[in-house]
Structure 1
Amino acid sequence: MKTITVTIRTSILLMIIVMIYQLAVTGIAQVFMPHKANGSLVYDGNNQLIGSELIGQTFVSPRYFHGRVSSIEYNAASSGTPNYAPSNPDLLRRVQNSVTKWKADNPDVPVNNLPVDLITNSGSGLDPDISPASALAQIPRISSLTGIQKNTLEKLVIEHTQGRDLGLFGEERVNVLKLNMALSELLAK
């Protein structure tokens, strides 16, 4: 009986410690970085929720920049992607379909200049970013469809390119949602 009592007391004590820890971490995050603590949500000029900086979205209009391929259609309820081996026929088929779609949507850009992140999934299937090269490769299509000069679009990509974290970690990247919001502002003018 003594063992059961000790076990119950220890369990209750540990639950209380864990709850206090969670409340403390949440409180600290809300005070020091509320934007990140609340999901890095992005709003438009009318304070309308557009999405999150952390979760990619599907942009189907050819007038906008497109993100990476997502096997889960950017459904944040679960993340992940099939982890196919390079020899897997399903991976080859998916990449071939992506290349075929790229050729149809971007006839002015040679396939040998196609950045690999535009035809491959990220590990989570939710990646909101593309490489600067992927954004730049889409400029001919967007320029011809919108009438916006290529050099203006290049400046837009450069303005929205984020460097490596702490100058060391990760790669340069462009958040597709933020880039497309800036493009929408240009189109509205």
Structure 2
Amino acid sequence: MKTIFSLIKLTAVTLILFAVIYPLAIYGIAQIAPNQGKGETLLVNGKVVGYQKIGQKFDKSNYFWGRPSAVDYNATGSAGSNKGPSNAEYLALVQKRIDTFLVVHPYLKKAEIPADMVTASGSGLDPNISPQGALVQVKRVAKERNLAEAKVKALVESKINTAVVGPETVNVLELNVALDKLR
């Protein structure tokens, strides 16, 4: 009986600690964080158009496309496919993405497609692509928007983020928002 009473007390203390105190502490810390812990949003004319750290689906030909997503850009289900390069189903999916990319970019050869344009990231929500991934899309986007390729290429080059450690990247949402402002 004494053991059962001790276990009930331990359960109550643990429940209060992890179901009440811990969430309130995290909520309190978030209130002093930038944007009150709601993420880094991108605003256009005072309206939220997206989150800078979460990949979003762009599939219209007049926009730059991001990396494919294993979770269809659903942030609540962040995950990769967990299929390796020897998995036949995975290889078929990558080949389908390559074929689709080549149809929309007929000026490219298969070897010219950057890997990040046909493979999903580990989270399925990568907001960035490689500069090469953006540059191979310049011709398509410029044609769809009736803009000079040099102007669109200059925009891409202005949006390349260089890190102290790691590869250069281009945030697709930021690039597409800047593209909408380009005339």
* Structure 1: 5+ residue stretches without partners: none
Partner AA of 1:26 in structure 2: Y
The number of equivalent residue pairs is: 182
- 1:101–1:7 Cα change, 3 Å: same
Tell me the residue number matched to 2:39: 39
CA distance in structure 2 between the partners assigned to 1:137 and 1:115 by the alignment: 8
Give the conservation status (yes or no) of the 8 Å contact 1:108–1:141.
no
Tell me the residue number matched to 2:21: 20
Partner AA of 1:22 in structure 2: P
Deviations 1:6-38 (A, max 9, x none): 222223223333332332232222213226x10
CA distance in structure 2 between the partners assigned to 1:155 and 1:11 by the alignment: 61
Would you say 1:29 and 2:25 are equivalent positions? Answer: no
| Cα displacement (A) at 1:102 | 1.3
CA distance in structure 2 between the partners assigned to 1:149 and 1:157 by the alignment: 13
Cα-Cα RMSD: 2.1
Give the conservation status (yes or no) of the 8 Å contact 1:74–1:125.
yes
Deviations 1:69-102 (A, max 9, x none): 1233212231223222322221221122111111
TM-score (norm 1): 0.84
Partner AA of 1:136 in structure 2: L
Would you say 1:143 and 2:139 are equivalent positions? Answer: no
After the TM superposition, which residues 30-179 of structure 1 pair with which residues of structure 2 at under 5 Å, given as runs?
30-34=31-35, 37-45=37-45, 47-164=46-163, 167-168=164-165, 170-179=166-175
Deviations 1:146-176 (A, max 9, x none): 2323332233223322233xx22x4322221
CA distance in structure 2 between the partners assigned to 1:125 and 1:163 by the alignment: 22
| Cα displacement (A) at 1:104 | 1.2
Identity of aligned residues (%): 37
CA distance in structure 2 between the partners assigned to 1:32 and 1:125 by the alignment: 26
CA distance in structure 2 between the partners assigned to 1:151 and 1:123 by the alignment: 33
CA distance in structure 2 between the partners assigned to 1:59 and 1:181 by the alignment: 12
Give the conservation status (yes or no) of the 8 Å contact 1:109–1:140.
no
| Cα displacement (A) at 1:43 | 2.9
TM-score (norm 2): 0.86
CA distance in structure 2 between the partners assigned to 1:156 and 1:22 by the alignment: 43
Tell me the residue number matched to 1:4: 4
Larger deviation: 76-85 or 118-127? 76-85
